[in-house]
Amino acid sequence: MERIQIALTKGRLLDETISIFEKVGIDCSELRQQGRKLIFQSNTYNISFILVKAADVLTYVEHGVADIGVVGNDLLLENEKECYEMLDLNIGRCKFCVASIDSYEQNTSRRKTIATKYPTVASTYFRQKGEEVDIIKIEGSVEIAPLLGLADAVVDIVETGRTLRENGLVVLEEMYDISARLIVNKASLKMKKEATFRIIDSIEKYVSTKV
Protein backbone atom coordinates (compact mmCIF):
# COMPACT_ATOMS: atom_id res chain seq x y z
CA MET A 1 0.00 0.00 0.00
CA GLU A 2 1.39 3.44 -0.98
CA ARG A 3 2.42 5.63 1.89
CA ILE A 4 0.32 8.77 2.36
CA GLN A 5 1.61 11.65 4.44
CA ILE A 6 -0.98 14.10 5.78
CA ALA A 7 -0.05 17.57 7.10
CA LEU A 8 -2.36 18.94 9.78
CA THR A 9 -2.57 22.49 11.14
CA LYS A 10 -1.52 22.68 14.78
CA GLY A 11 -3.68 24.80 17.05
CA ARG A 12 -7.38 25.46 16.99
CA LEU A 13 -8.25 23.34 13.92
CA LEU A 14 -6.52 20.21 15.14
CA ASP A 15 -9.09 18.61 17.40
CA GLU A 16 -11.96 18.82 14.92
CA THR A 17 -9.68 17.69 12.09
CA ILE A 18 -8.64 14.57 13.99
CA SER A 19 -12.32 13.85 14.72
CA ILE A 20 -13.07 13.81 10.99
CA PHE A 21 -10.27 11.33 10.28
CA GLU A 22 -11.49 9.17 13.17
CA LYS A 23 -15.08 9.30 11.91
CA VAL A 24 -14.01 7.85 8.54
CA GLY A 25 -12.22 4.99 10.28
CA ILE A 26 -8.61 6.21 10.17
CA ASP A 27 -6.70 5.31 13.31
CA CYS A 28 -5.47 8.47 15.06
CA SER A 29 -4.63 6.95 18.44
CA GLU A 30 -0.96 7.97 18.34
CA LEU A 31 -1.96 11.46 17.18
CA ARG A 32 -4.40 11.76 20.08
CA GLN A 33 -1.58 11.17 22.58
CA GLN A 34 0.52 13.95 21.10
CA GLY A 35 2.90 15.26 23.76
CA ARG A 36 5.65 17.10 21.88
CA LYS A 37 5.91 14.65 18.97
CA LEU A 38 5.33 16.04 15.48
CA ILE A 39 5.21 12.91 13.29
CA PHE A 40 2.70 10.11 13.89
CA GLN A 41 1.93 6.77 12.31
CA SER A 42 -1.61 5.52 11.81
CA ASN A 43 -2.51 1.84 11.82
CA THR A 44 -4.93 2.44 8.95
CA TYR A 45 -3.62 1.96 5.40
CA ASN A 46 -0.10 3.38 5.32
CA ILE A 47 -0.83 6.84 6.65
CA SER A 48 1.42 9.16 8.63
CA PHE A 49 0.49 12.57 10.01
CA ILE A 50 2.72 15.58 10.52
CA LEU A 51 1.79 18.56 12.73
CA VAL A 52 2.91 21.96 11.44
CA LYS A 53 1.92 25.64 11.47
CA ALA A 54 -0.89 26.59 9.11
CA ALA A 55 1.24 28.30 6.45
CA ASP A 56 3.69 25.40 6.50
CA VAL A 57 0.91 22.94 5.64
CA LEU A 58 0.79 24.67 2.25
CA THR A 59 4.55 24.48 1.85
CA TYR A 60 4.74 20.76 2.67
CA VAL A 61 1.85 19.95 0.33
CA GLU A 62 3.15 22.14 -2.50
CA HIS A 63 6.53 20.40 -2.34
CA GLY A 64 4.95 16.95 -2.21
CA VAL A 65 6.45 16.07 1.16
CA ALA A 66 2.85 15.83 2.33
CA ASP A 67 0.34 14.35 -0.12
CA ILE A 68 -2.68 15.78 1.68
CA GLY A 69 -3.15 18.75 4.01
CA VAL A 70 -5.80 20.42 6.12
CA VAL A 71 -5.66 24.21 6.28
CA GLY A 72 -8.01 27.20 6.57
CA ASN A 73 -8.84 28.92 3.29
CA ASP A 74 -7.65 32.16 4.90
CA LEU A 75 -4.16 30.78 4.21
CA LEU A 76 -5.15 29.71 0.69
CA LEU A 77 -6.42 33.23 -0.03
CA GLU A 78 -3.28 34.80 1.38
CA ASN A 79 -0.70 32.53 -0.27
CA GLU A 80 -0.62 31.58 -3.91
CA LYS A 81 0.32 27.89 -3.77
CA GLU A 82 0.40 25.06 -6.29
CA CYS A 83 -2.01 22.47 -4.94
CA TYR A 84 -5.60 21.32 -5.42
CA GLU A 85 -8.30 22.38 -2.99
CA MET A 86 -10.51 19.28 -2.88
CA LEU A 87 -13.03 19.61 -0.04
CA ASP A 88 -14.60 22.11 2.32
CA LEU A 89 -14.47 20.31 5.68
CA ASN A 90 -16.97 22.72 7.20
CA ILE A 91 -14.98 23.15 10.42
CA GLY A 92 -13.07 26.18 11.73
CA ARG A 93 -15.78 28.44 10.39
CA CYS A 94 -15.14 32.18 10.72
CA LYS A 95 -15.04 35.28 8.50
CA PHE A 96 -12.62 37.84 7.17
CA CYS A 97 -13.92 41.28 8.15
CA VAL A 98 -12.95 44.90 8.01
CA ALA A 99 -13.33 46.33 11.52
CA SER A 100 -12.64 49.55 13.35
CA ILE A 101 -13.73 51.69 16.25
CA ASP A 102 -17.40 52.63 16.39
CA SER A 103 -16.79 56.30 15.69
CA TYR A 104 -14.61 55.64 12.65
CA GLU A 105 -15.60 57.78 9.65
CA GLN A 106 -15.63 55.24 6.84
CA ASN A 107 -16.55 57.53 3.97
CA THR A 108 -13.58 59.82 4.18
CA SER A 109 -11.73 60.63 0.96
CA ARG A 110 -8.42 60.36 2.82
CA ARG A 111 -6.34 57.30 1.98
CA LYS A 112 -6.82 54.73 4.75
CA THR A 113 -4.28 52.61 6.56
CA ILE A 114 -5.21 49.00 7.22
CA ALA A 115 -3.41 46.78 9.73
CA THR A 116 -3.57 43.03 9.17
CA LYS A 117 -1.87 39.65 9.42
CA TYR A 118 -3.16 39.06 5.87
CA PRO A 119 -1.71 41.77 3.58
CA THR A 120 -2.52 39.98 0.31
CA VAL A 121 -6.15 39.37 1.27
CA ALA A 122 -6.52 42.98 2.40
CA SER A 123 -4.87 44.60 -0.64
CA THR A 124 -6.78 42.37 -3.09
CA TYR A 125 -10.07 43.20 -1.39
CA PHE A 126 -9.58 46.96 -1.44
CA ARG A 127 -8.17 46.92 -4.98
CA GLN A 128 -11.28 45.08 -6.18
CA LYS A 129 -13.37 47.77 -4.49
CA GLY A 130 -11.36 50.41 -6.34
CA GLU A 131 -10.04 51.83 -3.09
CA GLU A 132 -6.38 52.61 -2.59
CA VAL A 133 -5.14 51.86 0.91
CA ASP A 134 -1.85 51.53 2.73
CA ILE A 135 -1.33 48.16 4.38
CA ILE A 136 0.66 47.61 7.55
CA LYS A 137 1.50 43.96 8.25
CA ILE A 138 1.36 42.97 11.91
CA GLU A 139 1.69 39.55 13.48
CA GLY A 140 -1.17 39.46 16.00
CA SER A 141 -3.34 41.34 18.50
CA VAL A 142 -4.56 43.10 15.37
CA GLU A 143 -7.53 44.68 17.13
CA ILE A 144 -5.42 47.16 19.06
CA ALA A 145 -4.02 48.84 15.92
CA PRO A 146 -6.96 51.28 15.44
CA LEU A 147 -7.12 51.95 19.18
CA LEU A 148 -3.50 53.03 19.26
CA GLY A 149 -3.61 55.00 16.01
CA LEU A 150 -1.41 52.62 14.00
CA ALA A 151 -4.20 52.14 11.45
CA ASP A 152 -7.68 53.39 10.57
CA ALA A 153 -9.09 49.88 10.41
CA VAL A 154 -8.09 46.22 10.43
CA VAL A 155 -8.68 43.22 8.22
CA ASP A 156 -8.93 40.23 10.52
CA ILE A 157 -10.65 36.97 11.30
CA VAL A 158 -13.86 37.17 13.30
CA GLU A 159 -15.35 34.06 14.83
CA THR A 160 -17.52 34.82 17.88
CA GLY A 161 -16.87 38.59 17.71
CA ARG A 162 -15.67 38.57 21.28
CA THR A 163 -12.20 40.00 20.61
CA LEU A 164 -13.71 42.89 18.65
CA ARG A 165 -16.33 43.55 21.32
CA GLU A 166 -13.91 43.49 24.22
CA ASN A 167 -11.68 45.98 22.45
CA GLY A 168 -14.47 48.32 21.40
CA LEU A 169 -14.36 47.56 17.67
CA VAL A 170 -17.22 46.86 15.27
CA VAL A 171 -17.46 45.03 11.95
CA LEU A 172 -17.60 47.52 9.08
CA GLU A 173 -17.67 45.00 6.25
CA GLU A 174 -17.88 41.21 6.00
CA MET A 175 -15.41 40.08 3.37
CA TYR A 176 -15.11 36.28 2.91
CA ASP A 177 -16.24 33.11 4.68
CA ILE A 178 -13.45 30.93 6.07
CA SER A 179 -13.42 27.21 6.82
CA ALA A 180 -10.89 24.40 6.80
CA ARG A 181 -10.12 22.80 3.43
CA LEU A 182 -8.63 19.49 2.38
CA ILE A 183 -5.81 20.18 -0.07
CA VAL A 184 -3.82 17.71 -2.17
CA ASN A 185 -0.45 17.78 -3.90
CA LYS A 186 -0.92 17.83 -7.68
CA ALA A 187 1.47 14.96 -8.43
CA SER A 188 0.14 12.80 -5.57
CA LEU A 189 -3.33 12.97 -7.06
CA LYS A 190 -1.98 11.33 -10.22
CA MET A 191 0.82 9.12 -8.90
CA LYS A 192 -0.99 7.89 -5.78
CA LYS A 193 -4.46 8.14 -7.25
CA GLU A 194 -6.02 5.14 -5.53
CA ALA A 195 -4.65 5.88 -2.08
CA THR A 196 -5.44 9.61 -2.14
CA PHE A 197 -8.95 9.16 -3.51
CA ARG A 198 -9.74 6.47 -0.96
CA ILE A 199 -9.17 9.09 1.74
CA ILE A 200 -10.76 12.01 -0.11
CA ASP A 201 -13.87 10.01 -1.05
CA SER A 202 -14.49 8.74 2.45
CA ILE A 203 -14.09 12.22 3.94
CA GLU A 204 -16.30 13.74 1.24
CA LYS A 205 -19.02 11.20 2.01
CA TYR A 206 -18.78 11.92 5.74
CA VAL A 207 -18.73 15.71 5.35
CA SER A 208 -21.73 15.68 3.00
CA THR A 209 -23.82 13.93 5.66
CA LYS A 210 -23.03 16.75 8.10
CA VAL A 211 -24.18 19.70 5.95
Ligand X SMILES: Nc1ncnc2c1ncn2[C@@H]1O[C@H](COP(=O)(O)OP(=O)(O)OP(=O)(O)O)[C@@H](O)[C@H]1O
- The residue ranges that bind ligand PRP (CB under 6 A) are 140-143, 156-163
Partner from ligand PRP, ligand X, none contacting 156, C-beta within 5 to 8 A by type: ligand PRP
> Of 94 and 144, which CB lies nearer to ligand X in the complex structure?
94
Nearest to 206 by CA among 26, 20, 42, 28: 20
> Of 70 and 97, which CB lies nearer to ligand PRP in the complex structure?
97
Virtual CA dihedral for 154, 158, 164, 170, nearest 10 degrees?
70
Q: Minimum CB separation from ligand PRP for residue 158, in Å?
A: 4
Partner from ligand PRP, ligand X, none contacting 41, C-beta within 5 to 8 A by type: none
Q: Minimum CB separation from ligand X for residue 157, in Å?
A: 4
- Alpha-helix runs per DSSP H in 13-152: 14-23, 29-32, 54-62, 73-78, 119-128, 144-147
Residue nearest to ligand X (CB): 72
> Of 166 and 194, which CB lies nearer to ligand PRP in the complex structure?
166
What's the gap between Cα 95 and its chain centre? Answer: 11
Partner from ligand PRP, ligand X, none contacting 54, C-beta within 5 to 8 A by type: ligand X
> Of 47 and 178, which CB lies nearer to ligand X in the complex structure?
178
Which residue spans within the chain are E strands per DSSP? 4-9, 39-41, 47-52, 68-72, 84-88, 94-101, 112-116, 133-137, 153-158, 169-178, 180-184
| Contact set with ligand X (CB under 6 A) | 9, 11-13, 53-54, 72, 74-75, 92, 94, 157, 159, 178
Convert 44-74 to b/e letters by CB count within 10 Å (16 or more is b). beebebbbbebebbbbbbbeeebbbbbbbbb
Q: Minimum CB separation from ligand X for residue 170, in Å?
A: 17
Q: Minimum CB separation from ligand PRP for residue 173, in Å?
A: 15
